[in-house]
Structure 1
Amino acid sequence: MEAYVSRGNAFLDYGNPEGIKAAQADYERALLLKPTYLPARINLAYSLQMSGKFQQAWTQFTIAIQQDQLCQAAYEGRAIVNLQMSNLFAALQDVNASMKVKASAELHTNRGVVSLFMKDSTGAMHDFQAAIKLDNRYSLAYFNAANIYFKNRQFRQAIEYYNRSIQFNNKDESAYVNRAIARAVIKDSSGALSDFSKAISISPKSAHVYFNRGNLYSTLGEWQKAADDFSHGLRLQPDDPLAHKRRADALGKLGMKEKAIADYQYAVQLQARIKFLKSIHSK
């Protein structure tokens, strides 16, 4: 059984459809030998989740819970699947059940995220603060708390929490981007530009970072730098109508009227296409 699970885990690490399918076959072989073997059951559930087979994954996690009502991995896995199936209350119940087994900073943070999905920012903040109290180096709790402060337009508090998040995880592109935007709002342009540059160094293929830095350069009247950033972002994400419009604005300020008009026209075409596709999907 252990050999099947070990080989299945190796297949799963490939992350491609063939590897996931081979992993599932090995987990199922282990379960044929011993249906109560939890490592095989849990990993089979995760592999099904990776395949997008959420209901089947939910069933396997549920079987694991029936076999061991103290299995935190099963509760946590089923909570994620419930979120993916938009069953928020069930996700919250599963996180609560896992916390009854043993609370942790990660679980408090996970429950906080579920609360945010349920539009309960007060409950979410309570959990993020509880997570920090349990582990004052847990960066994700600081990051999520910072996002709530940001949403509430408490930008200086948000920056303080992004600082702590980055202190304990300096590879999180999102923390740098969000702190950059908060710094831009309070007129700390140099700090914002520094954060955008750091985010780009971490994730050079993230179009939204270039778009956001381009917006800041536009605000500062640095039109050539703005146009360059919008152009870089559009090479990564060509069909963003707002970015085309913003680049058109910058090009217009630089006196490149024909290129600006072409960008405006393309932005309008893209927006019309997006609106049309949305109307089809809504029917």
Structure 2
Amino acid sequence: MNKKNFFYLLFLISFNLIAQDDNPEIIVISDTESETNREAMKLYNAGIKNFQSKNYADAVGNYSGAINLVDSFVKAYYNRGMAKYELKDFSGASADFTKTIELTPGSDIAFFRRGECFLALKKKPEAMSDFDRAISINPGEAKYFYNRGVVNFENQQYKLAIEDFSKTVILDDNHAYAYNDRGSAKRNMDDYDGAISDYNKAIKINPSLAFVYNNSGSAKKRKGDFQGAIGEYNQAIRMKSDYYIAINNRGSAKFEMGDFQGAINDFTEALKINPKYAFAFNNRATAKYKMKDYKGAVEDCNKAIGLDPNYGYAFLNRGIAKEMLRDPEGACSDWQKASTLGVTNAGSYTKDCK
């Protein structure tokens, strides 16, 4: 039977949404204001100071007090939404941004912020709608295109993501994250040279981003430049010694070069850092299989499955190792399980099962 080993190569997109980058200003209180308005403004100003001091709960209380006095205080709704976002109260924050939009329908930033809340709440269609609206009101803001690009990437709409990240860097050519993420979209469309070029641009802008070196390594590995990939992974690991994802990926490149013991060493190192990293157990199992350590391969697949009971490739690989241990019934059971979990080529193994 034609055996094939599988690797899960973890590939990173930066996904670096920024919650707070506006700087609200203290309101100058005029003596001509009513007593109620003056008190509301004092509370609002106190909220800004608490927000700037990262006392977000107190800021929410200040802004709420201001709103109780003046229920049309749009800046208080907006900034209370920002404070709630920092407290990870995304539903409450989205409600405040909705109120901001009701009071000022042309507020592109309120649509954008509500979109961020929807994204945090895993409501991608609503997030996309709000990012679209923000862009339609103000097409000159880079971060609006960037966040929409992230949603398109997550929806596997890579061509659209590339378009959004391209618009981002046109508006802000120092946006390292947009170059990185455009590279990731290009990589997923098999444009490895384009991906590597974008990663290099991101590194030129900000050479301290270890994950960009990891991503560049993954693109080089897909291109077949395993030695180049190892060089990129090494740089990522030098910058972040506990970067177990890059260590795992370096092991996969070593595996492709036939350095199975070196691969095992890297997968083991990754697992020392993160013992719950199921992918590294599966990867180490495939390397042990190549070293004819079939029992060790089964043990590592067991650990991967223990961490992720729906890990189809671990079942597939365990079945391959079990067959070499002359356990055809166990092998068939694992291949059938892999098939039910959506491993498309598991059928090429189960067809020989009785």
Whether TM exceeds 0.5 here: the answer is: yes
The answer to whether the Cα contact below 8 Å between 2:192 and 2:222 also exists between their aligned partners in 1 is no
Matches within 5 A, 1:18-97: 36=39, 38=41, 41-97=43-99
For each residue in 1:49-96, what CA deviation from the matched residue of structure 2 results, as whole angstroms up to 9, or x when unmatched?
Answer: 354432212111222333443433322221122223332222111101
Counterpart-to-counterpart distance in 2, 1:152 and 1:252: 31
Measured at CA, do residues 262 and 129 of structure 1 come closer, stay the same or move farther in structure 2, by a change above 3 Å? same
Matches within 5 A, 1:194-233: 194-233=197-236
The answer to whether the Cα contact below 8 Å between 1:248 and 1:264 also exists between their aligned partners in 2 is yes
User: Would you say 1:159 and 2:134 are equivalent positions?
Assistant: no
Measured at CA, do residues 71 and 197 of structure 1 come closer, stay the same or move farther in structure 2, by a change above 3 Å? farther
User: Would you say 1:119 and 2:122 are equivalent positions?
Assistant: yes
Matches within 5 A, 1:175-254: 175-253=178-256
Give aligned-pair identity as a percent.
Answer: 25
SS in 1 for 2:274: helix
| Unmatched tracts of structure 2, length 5 or more | 1-36, 279-306, 308-354
The answer to whether the Cα contact below 8 Å between 2:40 and 2:65 also exists between their aligned partners in 1 is no
Moved more, 106-115 or 261-270: 261-270
Counterpart-to-counterpart distance in 2, 1:51 and 1:273: 36
Distance apart, 1:235 and its partner CA: 2.1
**Residue identity opposite 2:247 in structure 1:** H
TM-score w.r.t. the length of structure 2 is 0.62
Distance apart, 1:188 and its partner CA: 1.6
Measured at CA, do residues 150 and 44 of structure 1 come closer, stay the same or move farther in structure 2, by a change above 3 Å? same
The answer to whether the Cα contact below 8 Å between 1:83 and 1:91 also exists between their aligned partners in 2 is yes
Counterpart-to-counterpart distance in 2, 1:204 and 1:272: 29
**Residue identity opposite 1:200 in structure 2:** I
The answer to whether the Cα contact below 8 Å between 1:125 and 1:145 also exists between their aligned partners in 2 is yes
The answer to whether the Cα contact below 8 Å between 1:211 and 1:243 also exists between their aligned partners in 2 is yes
| Unmatched tracts of structure 1, length 5 or more | 1-33
Counterpart-to-counterpart distance in 1, 2:217 and 2:45: 44
Q: 2:151 aligns with which of 133, 144, 148?
A: 148
The answer to whether the Cα contact below 8 Å between 1:146 and 1:159 also exists between their aligned partners in 2 is yes
The answer to whether the Cα contact below 8 Å between 1:177 and 1:195 also exists between their aligned partners in 2 is yes
Matches within 5 A, 1:242-281: 242-253=245-256, 260-272=263-275
**Residue identity opposite 1:152 in structure 2:** N
The answer to whether the Cα contact below 8 Å between 1:140 and 1:165 also exists between their aligned partners in 2 is yes
Counterpart-to-counterpart distance in 2, 1:240 and 1:144: 26
Moved more, 161-170 or 260-269: 260-269
For each residue in 1:244-263, what CA deviation from the matched residue of structure 2 results, as whole angstroms up to 9, or x when unmatched?
Answer: 12112334555766654432
- Give the superposed CA RMSD: 2.7
Map of 1:5 onto structure 2: none
The answer to whether the Cα contact below 8 Å between 1:183 and 1:191 also exists between their aligned partners in 2 is yes
Map of 1:26 onto structure 2: none
Moved more, 50-59 or 197-206: 50-59
Task: Pick the structure with more helix per residue.
Answer: 1
For each residue in 1:6-56, what CA deviation from the matched residue of structure 2 results, as whole angstroms up to 9, or x when unmatched?
Answer: xxxxxxxxxxxxxxxxxxxxxxxxxxxx97373x64454244335443221
Map of 1:101 onto structure 2: 103
User: Would you say 1:137 and 2:160 are equivalent positions?
Assistant: no
Aligned residues: 242
The answer to whether the Cα contact below 8 Å between 2:63 and 2:80 also exists between their aligned partners in 1 is yes
Distance apart, 1:217 and its partner CA: 1.0
TM-score w.r.t. the length of structure 1 is 0.76
> Comparing both chains, which one has the higher relative contact order based on Cα–Cα distances under 8 Å and sequence gaps of 6 or more?
2
SS in 2 for 1:36: helix
Measured at CA, do residues 190 and 42 of structure 1 come closer, stay the same or move farther in structure 2, by a change above 3 Å? farther
